[in-house]
Chain A
């Protein structure tokens, strides 16, 4: 609680209009925001855009923050929503893409389970880390945006499922189920590598 008190003050000052206080908040969270956006999008340019939009949104709506969750969760909610939007935009540009909604409103990617890279046949090359990294990235893009996001937040960012649920405005249970689907799909995608 002691550590949170100064942040609370900063937030209140920012709400009252202090630009300096808002700047201090930005400095506290900017590395995390960039790290997440960078890993999700794979592009410095996209990460920069998401940083910009996220903090401008935070600036605009900080008056609405009512301390009902932590500021960390609040900022992450903004960032994850922006990232999800961007991932969805990218997806709809692919013409050969069939997307269907399941009962919970999540997308089921009908083509994701077809691994189109079985011809990638040289095992020795597969072990090359860089190539491997690219294969992982490719497999990740075959997940639906929500699956990708949950896997990112759980596996790469190490957040608890309950926090992930809060950030994505859903339940811990749903986040857990999304994680199962994501790991299943990834395993199918990467099966050819073993």
Chain B
């Protein structure tokens, strides 16, 4: 992968089946975010071959929670539920808000939330359409202890293939079936 003359990473070979778990680690600037954006179909690679699920089967959480700050959690998830064609949207939204401890604040503006609560909502958004591939870039960012445990539980569940980049590898090392270290 190149940006102009600069080579970000080279020779990355990833094969991840259903239920797989790839942990991506590396120093700042090693290309973790770029690799994850390529794997989420958000950035075109400058070379190589990619075989990925359709874009709507991917759940991507980047450094931001990707939610509208002027909307409530309910309004955010309802919008994305519509756009992602989520069946039984209301039930699914309610279940996720309950699970991530946001039900009681479901009608409040996201802009008034702490960064950790916004991250929880970002995780709800990512899970809303039950993606086959989860791509999470520093998902533990800003989460408190309870939020971190919720995420631990989520990542331990069987189901979608998971690709996680984190500076806290110890949290997920026991779950990861593969590990990629970018230098």
The judgment on whether A and B are partners is no
Residues on A facing B (Cβ under 8 Å): none
